[in-house]
Structure 1
């Protein structure tokens, strides 16, 4: 059986394509750099993170973007030997407005090189480029309307895209305003048996989320709605293990089978419905009915936690190593930086071979130049360990291990310096932007490395430290993992929990910290 989710941890807004025998899924990365994560599979069952196409500032400038801004809902497509990637950079999302810019990049191979971006529009988000069989191309996106007494999600619009001119041309057409589920977004378009099928997300990316199918005989509509909409949802099953199901994308296999990837979230089982792992990607087989609509192969509208294996030949990948010794010339595909690319001005894998050197810069609340390297937390049970050499001389200098949702909500096991304590270890808690230090301080000898650990067990997080990597002492009380969830205290955010290593120097002297290794070990929970 295939166990959902297939892409665990923060991997939302999946856009899937098949090119011959290869399958690719692009997911949103928001404020994390490089932009867009593309996974690869041969069998729809085994997946590996492959590449991040937006890897330079000329393609994607995230400095100053708000948390849960940046890259929203990228979409992949392929036509005549070229890969296309549409993406949105949301630079402002406060109040009723959406300041956003939409682009397209192309590449001859999924691994690049990816082009410089071509600007599309700024009317909304969730862009999808449809390649019609007559060679014409059309861009679909949701339209945002900030005006009083208007629906913010103002329907799906389309416009022709001229590849030769590199711009949108012709009339902008409203093709649907969606259904009574509301919040219509995430358009994906497919052509089959004389129909254009429009798959949209509805209900908002939360408990009311859903995916709805429509169809038309012309690309610009009118689109009729599936009479038994939506295809998939958990809006009426609050105890389902895969909550918030919606925002789907379809793919046909070489064997003629159809599958849908879609958003879901796995909440903690403590009654608070919080999902610190973020929005994940799951898979369902779908079947076409005799009257030309899609239904889940398992029946009903709720996703299945386990589905039968596909009929494709199994193609497993080697498991990811649990330990990164920082011996490579560049960071692995699992690592992201926050808003800015990794460069030698603040990050080095060569100045001290076998170590990741981070030069301290701005604080964990900065939206600009942080020295933070992080990866997704992908399991409710996991241990994360590092070892750091750091010699601060001021309280303004810090380095260590951080569990990070955003600048407002994070837990930080950090080394710093104090006039009375000297070099010491402490835990910082930021809860909805409120700074606190737990009243536990551990002195650390000068010139001595320290091992740092965070252990997550569902809703509980425990920090620990060691001087030899063998004997561990707990650091502070147990913390609540729900603080790292996108809906904690009803915040409207869209990412997931990361674990990272970081350094700050608020004096501006860029004191460095050397990290010897990083281990991420997942448990075996279902």
Structure 2
């Protein structure tokens, strides 16, 4: 079989849940504060994947306005009971400090493309929910249990309770069936049944460089569960130089020909600071059941960069330039998402051949900001757009941004001085947690004519970011500002304590109007151009 390089879903695609229905494979991944919620990719061969839907797409399903960075939709679980799909997810409203507000829901659909139902509320006792369909028809709901009294950790084990679809609620007793191991921070449960055993796969060690996947089993669903004799079954902790780091939070699938595979999140660090600018990505490993009825990862527990899969991967689209145009007929391209709000009509419209953003709150707002962006999926790339914007003063600004969260972004804006004269100005909060302040001076503003479109561009080569621009349709770009350290657009610099930042770098367009006048900014197009660059330790060998 051909060898395929990991990750199979590059860029921010964390907490994978995998499912096979017939000859179709599906992977659901977390989206956190980005709307619509949950990404579901489809494949026929485990190597080539296509985004088919983001099912949480309306206000009745998900409203994240006010959710802090890296909150929102955590760890979806996608299952099928033979007649329909079930998607379980958490909407996290608070995660920092002693308390976590974590609301768990279930939505269903007969087809993966939807329509997906309005949510059934389940509980709020913890996060990373999962649904298991037993052979007798019973459905079992699990989540990690949150206990704010525990010190120093609030992870209190995996809780199990029966879910009644008829009644639309949890019924009967609940029990904490697994307390985890010495690796600590047990979460991300998935339950399976094989040869009379119930197998419980969990994530442990946090989501940083100590992350791991743990397997336990029991003859009774209620336990007690014995831990795998060679726990953990997957982790990069023992191999700090391995190309795939932060490996954990996994799920298992059997192929049609009887092979077993494990998908898991991973990160590929760059720079001496080991920063994962592409966020937590999705990788796959071949696994096998041994004579002792335990699952082992082939060549594990350290994940392999390449794995044999049923088909080779076609990387033509991965390396192709993506030039996005905007038409009302086609709407916004599926590569793009926005932040938090289920009312996108308040922040953007695709009309008259342009993406029109309505200036709302400042970039980095947790409520309503007009920012539309796509994932960074390459270590090096160019991006550019053309904007038509007529600001009245310094409180109105729009332009091109490389964005991680409110604490970490780079933003080349068309704005105006207090006297109303248009200018280009770079704004960045560059690792300013917890203040979230802009850093000045960055570069002297550049005066530009009062009217006319402006071409804005940025280039990232590994950790280096350079902005540039041009006026009056000029083909040649002029550099503006210094070379920035783009590696701060990473979980390791995401403005939170350890294990607290969970997304990945995006690039896109934004507009703000702090005068409250809803000034519009029009973007004619957007281009994302992957670049193979010698500074990239992964991509110089070919994808």
Does the 8 Å CA contact 2:399/2:511 hold for their aligned counterparts?
yes
Paired residue secondary structure (1:487): helix
Task: Report 1:72-111 matches (<5 A).
Answer: 72-111=74-113
Counting matched residue pairs gives: 521
Does the 8 Å CA contact 2:215/2:231 hold for their aligned counterparts?
yes
CA apart distance, 1:446: 2.3
Does the 8 Å CA contact 1:421/1:443 hold for their aligned counterparts?
no
Q: What residue number does 1:346 align with?
A: 347
Match among 195, 214, 217 for residue 216 of structure 2: 214
Does the 8 Å CA contact 1:46/1:317 hold for their aligned counterparts?
no
Q: What residue number does 2:67 align with?
A: 65
RMSD: 1.7
In structure 2, C-alpha distance between the alignment counterparts of 1:439 and 1:187, rounded to whole Å: 49
Task: Report 1:53-452 matches (<5 A).
Answer: 53-149=55-151, 151-268=153-270, 270-297=271-298, 299-308=299-308, 310-311=309-310, 322-327=322-327, 328-341=329-342, 343-350=344-351, 353-419=352-418, 422-431=421-430, 432=432, 433-437=436-440, 438-452=442-456
In structure 2, C-alpha distance between the alignment counterparts of 1:480 and 1:314, rounded to whole Å: 32
Q: What residue number does 2:536 align with?
A: none
Greater shift, 216-225 or 51-60, is seen at: 216-225
Residues 347-394 of structure 1, C-alpha deviation per residue, up to 9 Å, x if partnerless?
A: 1112xx210011111101311111111111111011111110111111
CA apart distance, 1:300: 3.2
Task: Indicate whether 1:481 and 2:480 are aligned.
Answer: no
Does the 8 Å CA contact 1:260/1:286 hold for their aligned counterparts?
yes
Residues 211, 465 of structure 1: alpha-carbon distance in 2 compared, 3 angstrom cutoff: same
Q: What residue number does 1:497 align with?
A: 505
CA apart distance, 1:439: 2.4
CA apart distance, 1:434: 2.3
Paired residue secondary structure (1:208): coil
Unpaired stretches in structure 1, ≥5 consecutive residues: none
In structure 2, C-alpha distance between the alignment counterparts of 1:22 and 1:13, rounded to whole Å: 20
Residues 67-94 of structure 1, C-alpha deviation per residue, up to 9 Å, x if partnerless?
A: 1111110110001221000000110123
Tell me the TM-score normalized by structure 2.
0.93
CA apart distance, 1:428: 0.7
Does the 8 Å CA contact 1:42/1:314 hold for their aligned counterparts?
no
Unpaired stretches in structure 2, ≥5 consecutive residues: 533-538
Does the 8 Å CA contact 1:142/1:184 hold for their aligned counterparts?
yes
In structure 1, C-alpha distance between the alignment counterparts of 2:152 and 2:242, rounded to whole Å: 33
CA apart distance, 1:420: 5.3
In structure 1, C-alpha distance between the alignment counterparts of 2:129 and 2:114, rounded to whole Å: 21
Residues 150, 502 of structure 1: alpha-carbon distance in 2 compared, 3 angstrom cutoff: closer
Does the 8 Å CA contact 1:43/1:315 hold for their aligned counterparts?
no
CA apart distance, 1:56: 0.7
Does the 8 Å CA contact 1:43/1:314 hold for their aligned counterparts?
no
Residues 479-517 of structure 1, C-alpha deviation per residue, up to 9 Å, x if partnerless?
A: 001221111176321111111201111111111011000
Residues 314, 475 of structure 1: alpha-carbon distance in 2 compared, 3 angstrom cutoff: closer
In structure 1, C-alpha distance between the alignment counterparts of 2:67 and 2:76, rounded to whole Å: 17
Greater shift, 393-402 or 430-439, is seen at: 430-439
